[in-house]
């Protein structure tokens, strides 16, 4: 099935990668939403406002790699025109907007669209449950242009280990000062930024005289673009509701 796709955040780094990925697929990039200062005269189908999109009825699915401030207008546009959405933007705090919109349209929402990361999430939950006396810390490393910290994937991994510990854990954002001793139920969340690192996430389990570390490293943004495209192919066949990458993988 060929899809007509609207990319939100098309002028950003991930948007450009997704654009190239779509061009190599059977699908069609029919329109994009981008930042006004980044739209060039060659970008004939990129708009800065959803209201400027000429034929929304031709759009089969929306893939969002933008910023949280575009979430509300995006969902308003999608629900108005009954278009399924894949949300790949991180740093979103008001997830209630997504939950409300999912009552009217099908939405895939995940902190990371990499197959490997989603397997890591499952493994981390199992290990957290099995090693209840081990301390847990999460470290994530990204390029120096990433704006949100900790990453959406780090939060996703915290949720996984927290499920494994019956929701008894709390996040602790970094550590500093002279009285920074960890408590038993806290999970330290540590963000490193530098260079061109695409993304590395490590969940560390510290026991007495032994350590287990689970690490995923992304070497290109291509894996996120491919994953979001797979999610788009999945969501266009679903009823209204909120889905995640595990639903996409199980639906293959």
Q: How high is the pLDDT of residue 131?
A: 98
> What is the distance, to the nearest Å, from the Cα of residue 33 to the centroid of all Cα atoms in its chain?
18
How many folded domains does the chain comprise? 2
Whether 89 and 64 have beta carbons less than 8 Å apart is answered as yes
Whether residue 248 has pLDDT greater than 70:
yes
Residues 27 and 50 in one domain: yes
> Cα separation of 158 and 171, whole Å?
8
Indicate if 37 belongs to the active site: no
Mean pLDDT check: name the lowest of 63-77, 99-113, 237-251.
237-251
User: Which segments are annotated as binding site for (S)-2,3,4,5-tetrahydrodipicolinate?
Assistant: 143, 152-153
Q: Which two tokens stand for residue 61?
A: 């699915």
Q: Is the pLDDT of residue 43 over 80?
A: no
Domain co-membership, 100 together with 123: no
Listed in sequence order, the residues at least 6 apart from 176 whose beta carbon sits closer than 8 Å to its beta carbon are none
Burial readout 142-153 (b: 16 or more C-beta within 10 A, e: otherwise): beeebebbbbbb
Q: Within this chain, do residues 107 and 8 fall inside the same structural domain, yes or no?
A: yes
Q: Can you list the positions of beta strands (E) in the chain?
A: 4-8, 28-33, 46-47, 61-64, 85-87, 106-109, 135-142, 170-173, 186-193, 199-207, 210-218, 241-243
Q: Based on the fold, state whether residues 90 and 156 are members of the same structural domain.
A: no
163 and 38 belong to one structural domain: no
| 234 shares its domain with 149 | no
Q: Specify whether 146 is catalytic.
A: yes
Confidence of residue 252 (pLDDT cuts 50, 70, 90): low
Do 24 and 89 lie in a common domain?
yes
Alpha carbon 31 to its chain's center:
21
∠ at Cα 206 (205, 212), nearest 5°? 50
The domain that holds 34 is classified in CATH as: 3.40.50.720
CATH number, residue 134 = 3.30.360.10
What average pLDDT does the segment 135-140 reach? Answer: 98
Torsion of CA 145, 76, 80, 59, to 10 degrees: 0
Q: Which of 82, 100, 146, 181 is catalytic?
A: 146
| Average confidence (pLDDT) over 15-42 | 88
Residues 232 and 191 occupy one common structural domain: no
70 vs 50: CA distance, rounded Å? 10
Residue 76, SS3 per DSSP: helix
pTM of the entire predicted model: 0.81
**Helix (DSSP H) and strand (DSSP E) numbers for the chain:** 7, 12
- The model's pLDDT over 61-104, given as tens digits with 9 standing for 90+, comes to 999 999 999 999 999 999 999 999 999 998 888 899 999 999 99
Catalytic-role residue among 24, 27, 96, 142:
142
- Extract the annotated binding site for NADP(+): 41
| Same-domain check for residues 101 and 146 | no
The residues, any chain, with a CB within 8 Å of residue 169's CB and separated by 6 or more, are 136, 158, 161, 162, 185, 186, 187
Residues annotated in the binding site for NAD(+), as ranges?
9-14, 88-90, 110-113
User: Could you tell me the residue range of the domain that residue 143 belongs to?
Assistant: 115-218
Q: What is the pLDDT of residues 160-183, one digit of tens each?
A: 999 999 999 999 999 888 888 999
Q: Kindly state whether residues 213 and 184 are assigned to the same domain.
A: yes
Percent of the chain clearing pLDDT 90 (strictly above) = 79
Question: Based on the domain organization, do 10 and 132 belong to the same domain?
Answer: no
The pLDDT value given to residue 111: 81
Same domain, 146 and 21: no
Q: What is the pLDDT of residue 72?
A: 96
Is the confidence at residue 42, as pLDDT, over 80?
A: no
| Alpha-carbon gap, residue 141 to 217, rounded angstroms | 9
Look at 36-50, 96-110, 215-229 and tell me which has the smallest mean pLDDT. 36-50
């Amino acid at each position: 099935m060929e899809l007509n796709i609207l990319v939100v955040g098309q002028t950003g780094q991930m948007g450009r990668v997704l654009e190239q990925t779509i061009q190599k697929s059977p699908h069609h990039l029919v329109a994009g939403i981008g930042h006004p200062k980044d739209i060039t005269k060659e970008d004939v189908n990129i708009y800065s406002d959803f209201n400027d999109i000429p034929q929304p009825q031709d759009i089969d699915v929306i893939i969002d790699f933008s910023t949280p401030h575009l979430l509300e207008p995006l969902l308003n546009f999608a629900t108005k025109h009954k278009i399924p959405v894949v949300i790949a933007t991180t740093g979103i705090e008001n997830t209630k907007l997504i939950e409300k919109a999912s009552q009217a349209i099908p939405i895939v929402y995940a902190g990371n669209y990499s197959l490997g990361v989603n397997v890591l999430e499952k493994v981390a939950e199992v290990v957290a449950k099995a090693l209840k006396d081990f301390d847990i810390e999460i470290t994530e490393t990204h390029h120096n242009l990433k704006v949100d910290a900790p990453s959406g994937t780090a939060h996703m991994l915290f949720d996984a280990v927290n499920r494994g510990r019956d929701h008894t854990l709390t996040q602790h954002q970094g550590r500093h000062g002279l009285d920074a001793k960890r408590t038993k139920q806290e999970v330290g969340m540590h963000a490193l930024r530098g260079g061109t690192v695409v993304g590395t996430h490590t969940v560390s389990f510290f026991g007495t005289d032994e350590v287990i570390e689970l690490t995923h490293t992304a070497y290109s943004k291509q894996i996120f673009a491919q994953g979001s495209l797979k999610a788009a192919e999945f969501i266009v066949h679903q009823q209204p509701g909120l889905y995640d990458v595990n639903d996409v993988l199980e639906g293959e």
